[in-house]
């Protein structure tokens, strides 16, 4: 028999009323739970001793709370509502529109299990990068047309996303999602064309033709912690290094929300909390709560840019080790986010992905784990295209290789900025000259020029890059030959205007 059980409570859209959360946390406290967590799909998580389970289940039944034990058959609906207003984009999408979407799922009717989606559903503002776009099976993303949404579908057990042929009206999202669920889970359809035929045969809905593809915004993770002003009010972001929040602290948060008429507490995919709408007269009361419970804010930005798996301490421990290395070496990670995957079927969000796998197996027993490093196309975490960077790394080698990958990202950004600068017309000069092709290391920017060869590597002048041995490495950072990229160098003479 298990000593402990993992409990999951969905908070649709990442939104919880302080009264509801207070009731749930009080029941957990009575079952001798002292800390809870928030998951990457914005759900509430807790671990309960088996001797206390019957008391907790009794209290949850009285409260009408739906929960799951050691399963995730009903994934939570993820939304970007947690960033609405505070990371405002200026589009038509606002708080009432998010609530209209969630109301279309009829989730307020007792939170019965059969009312909750069995598919992963994401509701996203197209102009933000705070919450992921494509980690769901049904990914609704706001379009330029007010009240209409793109739909990108990811079939079960695949990494392939395809665009639905129509834009979906806000009030139809819940009803259409149920039909998708019936087709994908009930009828077992796993083919794009068959799914389109089945869905259109089951339902008529308000829509518009989807004439253009979604343009992914460039990734920029906003700083989501601490007290921050917006409009005439303040929002508070709360992050915990160990991803655990004490129930005593959260009960005080709920009580202050109720006292000061803050109607919602938002959870984020970064396992943190956002509390919006704090009025100026109550700002000191919120500071007092943080002081009372010794809650620190304003952690380093590179600490906030990580995602780990739910119900798994190994990923969080590895994250903290890597952060310490970054801090010690003052590594620049701005513009990146990192995901750690230690289990094969879990999913994390990141522009750099660290995946653990067993080097050997004896039956079902894994032995001697290693790590593979991937990065997404253009280092945009919403891209579904992943590139292998290093394979089969031992844990001790991870920090150095991650630092090398960070340098590659920064160098890539620098080259793109330089290209932009050089492409701008210079009316004072006209450049003429001959171009030649050289090859550059993407990690340290060392150039191999066949005119000069590589004296230290015993490569004589005049040796073409293609003629270098396959084992050739960068003399500065040891990157392999296949990592080098071809670039054009121009010897220019400048004609000054008369």
- DSSP symbol at 269: T
Quote the pTM value.
0.85
pLDDT for 359 equals 86
120 and 175 in a common domain: yes
Q: Please, how many CA atoms are within 13 Å of residue 30, restricted to the half-sphere of its CB?
A: 14
- Residue 2 neighbours by CB distance under 10 Å: 10
Q: Do residues 180 and 197 make contact, with C-beta atoms less than 8 angstroms apart? A: no
490 and 388 in a common domain: no
Q: Do residues 23 and 254 make contact, with C-beta atoms less than 8 angstroms apart? A: no
CA distances (Å), 339 to each of 132, 159, 303, in order? Answer: 12, 16, 12
pLDDT for 386 equals 92
User: pLDDT 10s digit of each residue in the chain, 498 long?
Assistant: 458 999 999 999 999 999 999 999 999 999 999 999 999 999 999 999 999 999 999 999 999 999 999 999 999 999 999 999 898 766 899 999 999 999 999 765 444 555 789 999 999 999 999 999 999 999 999 999 999 999 999 988 777 899 999 999 999 999 999 999 999 999 998 889 999 999 999 999 999 998 888 988 889 999 999 999 998 899 999 999 999 999 999 999 999 999 999 999 999 999 999 999 999 999 999 999 999 999 999 899 999 999 999 988 899 999 999 999 999 999 999 999 999 999 887 889 999 999 999 988 787 787 889 999 999 999 999 988 899 999 999 999 999 999 999 999 998 888 777 666 666 555 444 444 567 888 988 877 788 898 888 888 888 888 998 989 888 988 877 788 888 888 877 654 443 433
pLDDT for 412 equals 85
pLDDT for 423 equals 62
Distance CA 269, CA 421 (A): 36
Distance CA 61, CA 425 (A): 70
Pairing of strands 226-230, 233-238: antiparallel
Residue 370 CB burial class (10 angstroms; 0-12, 13-18, ≥19) = middle
Indicate whether 418 belongs to any domain: no
pLDDT for 107 equals 65
> Domain residues for 406?
302-410
145 and 101 in a common domain: yes
- Residue 199 neighbours by CB distance under 10 Å: 19
Closest by CA to 355, choosing from 392, 323, 384, 327, is 392
CATH code of the domain containing 487: 2.20.28.10
326 and 257 in a common domain: no
Helices and strands (H and E) in the chain: how many? 10, 25
Pairing of strands 245-246, 35-38: antiparallel
**Structural domains counted in the chain:** 4
Distance CA 241, CA 162 (A): 36
Domain end marker among 209, 243, 259: 209
Domain end marker among 265, 299, 333: 299
β strands within 342-429, DSSP E: 352-362, 365-376, 386-393
Q: Do residues 382 and 134 make contact, with C-beta atoms less than 8 angstroms apart? A: yes
- DSSP symbol at 133: S
Indicate whether 490 belongs to any domain: yes
396 and 309 in a common domain: yes
277 and 345 in a common domain: no
Domain end marker among 363, 385, 410: 410
pLDDT for 324 equals 94
Pairing of strands 138-142, 121-124: parallel
Cα angle, residue 3 at apex, residues 356 and 252 outer, rounded to 5°: 85
pLDDT for 231 equals 85
pLDDT for 476 equals 79
Structure tokens at 487: 């670039």
pLDDT for 276 equals 96
Distance CA 318, CA 340 (A): 8
pLDDT for 424 equals 59
């Amino acid at each position: 028999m298990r000593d402990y059980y993992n409990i999951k409570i969905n908070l649709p859209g990442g939104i919880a009323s302080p009264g509801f959360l207070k009731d749930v946390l009080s029941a957990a406290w009575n079952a001798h739970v002292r800390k809870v967590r928030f998951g990457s799909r914005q759900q509430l998580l807790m671990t309960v001793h088996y001797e206390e389970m019957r008391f907790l289940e009794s209290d949850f039944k009285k409260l009408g709370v739906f929960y799951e034990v050691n399963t995730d058959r009903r994934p939570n609906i993820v939304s970007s509502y947690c960033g609405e207003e505070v990371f405002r984009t200026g589009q038509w999408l606002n708080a009432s529109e998010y609530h209209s979407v969630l109301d279309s799922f009829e989730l307020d009717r007792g939170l019965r299990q059969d009312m909750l989606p069995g598919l992963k559903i994401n509701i996203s503002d197209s102009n933000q990068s705070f919450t992921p776009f494509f980690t769901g099976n049904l990914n609704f993303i706001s379009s330029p047309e007010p009240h209409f949404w793109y739909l990108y579908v990811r079939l079960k057990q695949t990494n392939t996303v395809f665009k639905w042929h129509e834009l979906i009206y806000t009030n139809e999202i819940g009803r259409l999602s149920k039909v998708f669920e019936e087709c994908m889970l009930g009828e077992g359809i796993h083919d794009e064309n068959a799914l389109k035929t089945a869905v259109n045969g089951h339902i008529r809905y308000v829509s518009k033709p989807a004439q253009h593809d979604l343009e992914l915004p460039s990734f920029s993770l906003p700083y989501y912690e601490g007290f921050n002003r917006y409009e005439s009010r303040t929002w508070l972001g709360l992050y915990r290094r160990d991803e655990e929040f004490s129930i005593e602290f959260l009960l005080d948060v709920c009580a202050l929300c109720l006292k000061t008429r803050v109607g919602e507490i938002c959870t984020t995919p970064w396992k943190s909390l956002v509390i919006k709408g704090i009025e100026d007269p109550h700002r000191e009361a919120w500071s007092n709560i943080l002081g009372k419970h010794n809650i620190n804010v304003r952690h380093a930005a590179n600490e906030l840019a990580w995602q780990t798996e739910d119900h798994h301490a190994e990923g969080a421990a590895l994250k903290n080790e890597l952060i310490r290395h970054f801090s010690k070496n003052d590594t620049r990670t701005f513009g990146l986010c990192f995901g750690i995957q230690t289990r094969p079927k879990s999913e994390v969000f990141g522009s750099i992905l660290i995946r653990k796998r067993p080097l050997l197996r004896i039956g079902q027993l894994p032995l001697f784990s290693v790590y593979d490093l991937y990065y997404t196309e253009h280092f945009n975490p919403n891209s579904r295209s992943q590139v292998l960077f290093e394979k089969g790394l031992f844990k001790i080698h991870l920090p150095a290789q991650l630092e090398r990958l960070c340098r590659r990202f920064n160098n890539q950004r620098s080259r793109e900025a330089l290209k932009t600068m050089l492409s701008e017309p210079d009316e004072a000069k006209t450049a003429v000259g001959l171009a030649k092709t050289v090859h550059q290391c993407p990690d340290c920017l060392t150039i191999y020029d066949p005119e000069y060869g590589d004296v230290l590597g015993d490569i004589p002048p005049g040796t073409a890059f293609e003629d270098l041995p396959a084992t050739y490495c960068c003399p500065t950072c040891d990157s392999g030959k296949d990592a080098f990229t071809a670039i054009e160098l121009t010897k220019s003479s400048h004609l000054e205007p008369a």
